[in-house]
Amino acid sequence: MGLPKILLTPLQAKFLVEGIGSFVLVLTIFLSSTFVGGNPNPIDGSSTLRNLAPIAIGFILAVMVFSLGYISGGHFNPAVTMGIMFIKVIKIDQAITYVIAQNCGAVLGAAFGVLLTGPYPNMPAPQVYNNLPEFVFRAFVGEAIFTGALVTVVLHVACSNQKENGFYCFAVGMCVMASAYAVGGVSGGSFNPAVATGLQLVKCISGYCTPMLTLWLYWAAPAAGAAGAALLFKMVHPRIQDQVENN
């Protein structure tokens, strides 16, 4: 007796794989940030991320993009979805579906992280520890710049003449890894609103809600970075943009 045959529509399949990819990504962030390098708290803004966690995060993202990207595009990040929507590769209804799936997967990933480790005060969640305006501003700028860099990489390797290649996933994963090392100590190194939402929400449910005071930053800054990346893409690829809009 074989397994039951379940048929999904293309949109349902995309929803499912975006949720799965986000789940695996956030679970990896949670566990590697807890155990790798002997540092129990490398993504909370108080650390410089000088350990191995970003390597695990970058490689798992590359693996998930390579494995599932042919179905959904392998976004696993609302900022990436926003950037691709801004250049009109996908429509707003599909973008909303993706963002819902990404956040559901991220929350589940963080919840399973708590299930495996148990709740503790230093559970990984990006946040700005000093709420003085200058520190919030620095975190905002850091998240915006490096999310913009990530979305720029995605647009240029997946939505341009380079899109028919087999290595774009590594460009995406290595960009996240390098960005985490570069600015993780300033902003927490999220670059992904779903990651921030999942980790902060589950940490709050576990009894530690302080990080959620800055959740707005981890949506606003990546949105600004995605908008900037999309604008840059339109400026340097006018012919490709015309083709996208005419299709």
Query: Got the DSSP string for 174-225?
Result: HHHHHHHHHHHHHH-S---HHHHHHHHHHHHHTT--GGGGGTTHHHHHHHHH
pLDDT band (50, 70, 90) for residue 189: very high
> What's the whole-number mean pLDDT along residues 26-42?
72
Q: Is the pLDDT of residue 240 over 70?
A: no
Greater model confidence, 47 or 109: 109
Tell me which of 26-30, 126-130, 204-208 is least confident: 126-130
> What's the whole-number mean pLDDT along residues 154-181?
87
pLDDT of res. 2: 72
Do the Cβ atoms of 189 and 175 come closer than 8 Å? Answer: no
Q: Find the length of the chain.
A: 247
Tell me which of 13-27, 123-137, 202-216 is least confident: 123-137
Q: Is the pLDDT of residue 230 over 90?
A: yes
> What's the whole-number mean pLDDT along residues 184-206?
95
pLDDT band (50, 70, 90) for residue 162: confident
Tell me which of 39-48, 150-159, 223-232 is least confident: 39-48
Question: How many angstroms separate the CA atoms of 148 and 128, rounded?
Answer: 19
Q: Is the pLDDT of residue 160 over 60?
A: yes
Q: Is residue 1 part of a domain?
A: no
Which DSSP symbol is given to 238? H
Q: Is residue 167 part of a domain?
A: yes
Cα-Cα-Cα-Cα torsion 115, 117, 122, 127, nearest 10 degrees, comes to -50
Q: Is the pLDDT of residue 40 over 70?
A: no
Q: Is the pLDDT of residue 47 over 60?
A: no
Q: Is residue 108 part of a domain?
A: yes
Where in the sequence is the domain holding 145, given as residue range(s)?
Answer: 11-246
Q: Is the pLDDT of residue 42 over 60?
A: no
In the chain, where does DSSP find H-type helix? 10-35, 53-72, 78-86, 92-117, 133-158, 168-187, 193-205, 217-236, 238-246
The tokens for 55 are 């390597």
Q: For a pLDDT cut of 90, what percent of the chain falls above it?
A: 71
Q: Is residue 71 part of a domain?
A: yes
CA 168-29-96 angle, to 5 degrees, is 65
Overall number of domains in the chain: 1
Q: Is residue 36 part of a domain?
A: yes
Q: Measuring CA to CA, which residue among 40, 37, 76 is closest to residue 55?
A: 37
> What's the whole-number mean pLDDT along residues 145-160?
93
Q: Is the pLDDT of residue 210 over 50?
A: yes
Q: Is residue 220 part of a domain?
A: yes
Q: Is the pLDDT of residue 153 over 90?
A: yes
Q: Is residue 182 part of a domain?
A: yes
Mean pLDDT of the chain: 88
CATH number where 89 lies: 1.20.1080.10
Computed on alpha carbons and rounded to an integer, the radius of gyration of the chain in Å comes to 18
Q: Is the pLDDT of residue 155 over 60?
A: yes
pLDDT tens digits, 93-120? 999 999 999 999 999 999 999 999 988 8
Q: Is residue 6 part of a domain?
A: no
Do the Cβ atoms of 201 and 127 come closer than 8 Å? Answer: no
